[in-house]
Amino acid sequence: MNPTKSLSVGAKLLPLLLLLSSIPSWAQQLEVFNPPTSTGNTQAYTDLFSVVLPKATHLNGMTVLIPWGTVDTGESAPCQETTQVKNCDWPAIEQQLLAYINGPNNDGFGLAHYPGTKLNLIIVLVPEAGPNGGYQNVVPQYVFNAGTYSNWCPSCSPTEPQDVVTCANSGAPWPGDLGGPTCSNTNSAPPANEPCTGSNVNAGVWNSGNPSTGQAPACHLTGKGNASCYGSNNFNTMGGFPVLYETPIMTAYQQFIETLLFHYSTQGLTTNGRYIGSFIGYIRVGLAQGGENLPTCTVEEPGGTGIWPSPNGLSHDMGLGVYDWYKTSTTCTGNCQGKYAYLNGDPNQSGDDGPGYVAAMYEAFMNPTNGVFYYFDNGSFPNLQLMSNSHAGPPFNSDLGYADTEASIFAGLTQEYGEQIYRPPYAGQNGFGMEALSEYDVFSLPVGRPCGDDWCANFATYWPSYTGGNQYLQTETPNLQATYSISSVSTQTNRNGIVTCSGSSNCTNFSNAGDDSPDSAGAQPSLLYSGEGFALSVGSGQKASYKIGQILTGTTFSCDPATPCPQNLNQQTLWQGDYLPDTIPFALNNYADTLEIYFCDWDYALNKNSGTNGNGCQAYDATYSPLYLNVLNNP
């Protein structure tokens, strides 16, 4: 699908006064992010309705994850809702959505009982790679079947099937399935739906060909020329991460978002859809993993060799003898064709890199034919606001240029080949933000360090004139312990300070397997992980922020080279990244209007039985829980 172009030049140049007059006035909003479900922890689900909703005086609603592949069950074409509902499994998500609105037993004590509260949706393109992820992308399978393209994608080439990739990058790995062709597993018949692990994980890309025409699958191991992949019969195991700027997945996801907007508008064909739509505040469209926008496995780390093929796909590239196509850098003084292809196209307008994935997708979502503007114009979804995530990019999630360009796209300023994306009068119908709020940010801005994903700078730039003031933040990770006691910060060559926690209990997610991320198997949210931001007391009631470099043992870690810790400190307090008494006031004072806050943070503040009743949250603390309560009920 080619995204619909925006309005004429005359419409784009409406006076700034008209722009400002159309911006809605947004109050600062606090949401429960990813609330408990009826099929999860029973006590946590009970606490949501019996404790958090009635006691939270400044709660504006809930923000719920909706996986694309859960709803779109089409086998040969996307789900549709025009004259009838076809291949859309709305009941798979709506029983729970209705319970959030009407109460768990339809007893009237859900969001509908609290005037003004909203239900917000995060559309998940690909689930995040947690301990059970990274090998199942849950993308509808018709996207990978080139034999179906004639049914739903006139701009898709049957000779250019959708590709997927794998890698072992430390910051954002995607190992793929044990049976995939880039996994060097020697088992001739590996079990289904198990991840490739350890040294078997290779950087590479493949597709399943086109069985309907007899076109063979294509596969390439990164950096190895035309070397063949592993296994000859595993190409239909499409458990890699999809190459997002290729036409099949872009088209399918655009069509799904169009269908979703129609379904929850007053024009939708189902009673439940129209009812749920009346409670929706905003829809956040994930453009990569989860609700975020990090292109995964684009380049191999370290080294920077490209993994993703060009937007034309691997089969096309291999026909030309082109391999390892993706190129990126922070300065773009050299070849940045991958970065351009992901963001908003080649600034020289050569067209070689496509229109730019992020710019083209957001334009399609917002367009006045069947996107947000359409429903805003005809009054069938008048309060809808569509938002997306701006995220630092590769290598090592370090390039803030990705986040900066994405922020300008979502604010309607960045141009795609000279075409401004949005009509200025409706700038208030979009927004953007980050899942990056951390204790690290609080004490970085005053010393001139950028906040995570550069959100502080971008919020200050675009609020309120362009986004309508609704700029969201989500804490970087749910921490279930407010503080730790530190016995010492000592010196060691090349370690930038070794921090040792007091006592014998673990304070880190140390893993003998080498994966100490919050998504690793067995990780505990209450424990520290590599890359986490934290604060230390540095005397006279002052704090300073740092990042963890490497987890060394269960009770020790090194500091990141960019933020060396003060050495020879003893008996200090460490505040974890999700320390709301610091982060919430800081965020709201720096142009954040919507904060998505984990359920357990709410419960920790409001429930004196928290943690002791089996709800999986941190135990109520007489010192810190009241501090949490104060910032949540009086932001």
Fold exhibited by the domain 483-575: Elongation Factor Tu (Ef-tu); domain 3 (2.40.30)
What is the reported pLDDT for 469? 60
Look at residue 15 in the predicted model and tell me its pLDDT: 25
Residue 31 has pLDDT above 90, yes or no: yes
Would you place residue 281 in the very low, low, confident or very high pLDDT band (cuts 50, 70, 90)? very high
E strand or H helix at 405, and its extent?
A: helix 400-410
At residue 178, the pLDDT reads 84
Amino acid letter for position 582? D
State the pLDDT at residue 408.
87
Tell me the β-bridge partners of 164. 206, 242
Sequential DSSP letters for 483-527: EEEEEEEE--TTTS-EEEESSSS--B---TTS--STTSTT--TTS
Residue 117 pLDDT: 96
Fill in the amino acid letter for 389: N
Lowest mean pLDDT among 90-94, 456-460, 464-468, 508-512: 464-468
Q: Which helix (H) or strand (E) holds 584?
A: helix 580-588
DSSP state of 554: S
Q: What is the dihedral of CA 315, 316, 319, 321, to 10 degrees?
A: -100
Tens-digit pLDDT profile for residues 236-278: 888 899 999 999 999 999 999 999 999 999 999 999 999 999 9
Report pLDDT for 26.
Answer: 42
Is the confidence at residue 42, as pLDDT, over 70? yes
Q: How much is the pLDDT for 103? A: 97
pLDDT, tens only, 162-203:
999 999 987 788 988 888 899 887 555 666 678 888 888 999
Give dist(CA 308, CA 287) in Å, integer. 16
| 227 or 490, which is more confident | 490
Per-residue pLDDT at 372 exceeds 90: no
If phi > 0 it is left, if psi is from -120 to 50 it is alpha, else beta; for residue 396 that is: left
What is the rounded distance in angstroms from the CA atom of residue 547 to the CA atom of residue 296?
Answer: 22
Confidence tier at 363 by pLDDT (50, 70, 90) = confident
The average pLDDT across 311-328 equals 94
Buried/exposed code over 395-432 (b: 16+ C-beta within 10 A; e: otherwise): bbbebbbbbbbbbbbbbbebbbeeebbbbbbbbbbbbb
**What span, in angstroms and rounded, lies between the C-alpha atoms of 401 and 243?**
20
594-598 vs 471-475, strand pairing mode: parallel
470 pLDDT band, cuts 50/70/90, is confident
- Per-residue DSSP letter, 144: G
Percent pLDDT > 70 in the chain is: 86
Least confident range from 116-120, 205-209, 403-407, 567-571: namely 567-571
Mean pLDDT of 343-364: 83
Q: In this model, does residue 359 exceed pLDDT 60? A: yes
pLDDT of 284 over the 80 cut:
yes
The residue ranges of every structural domain in the chain are: 1-157+243-295+355-481+578-635, 483-575
Tell me, which fold does domain 1-157+243-295+355-481+578-635 have in CATH?
TIM Barrel (3.20.20)
Give yes or no for residue 443 having a pLDDT over 60.
Answer: yes
What pLDDT was estimated at residue 370? 81
Name residue, tokens 């458990």.
239
Average pLDDT over residues 361-384: 83
pLDDT band at 208 (very low <50, low <70, confident <90, very high): very high
Q: Are 413 and 397 in contact (CB under 8 A)?
A: no
Q: What pLDDT is recorded for position 240?
A: 92
More confident: 351 or 596: 596
DSSP assigned state of 339: H
- pLDDT, residue 525, reads 66
For 300-329, what is the mean pLDDT? 94
**115-119, 134-138, 423-427: least confidently modelled range:** 423-427
Check residue 352 and give its pLDDT. Answer: 67
Rg (CA), the chain: 24
pLDDT interval class at 134 (50, 70, 90): low
The chain-wide mean pLDDT, for the chain, equals: 85
pLDDT digits (tens, 9 = 90+) for 383-439: 788 899 999 999 888 899 999 999 988 887 655 444 554 444 445 678 899 998 999
Q: What is the pLDDT at residue 493?
A: 63
Single-letter amino acid, residue 50? S
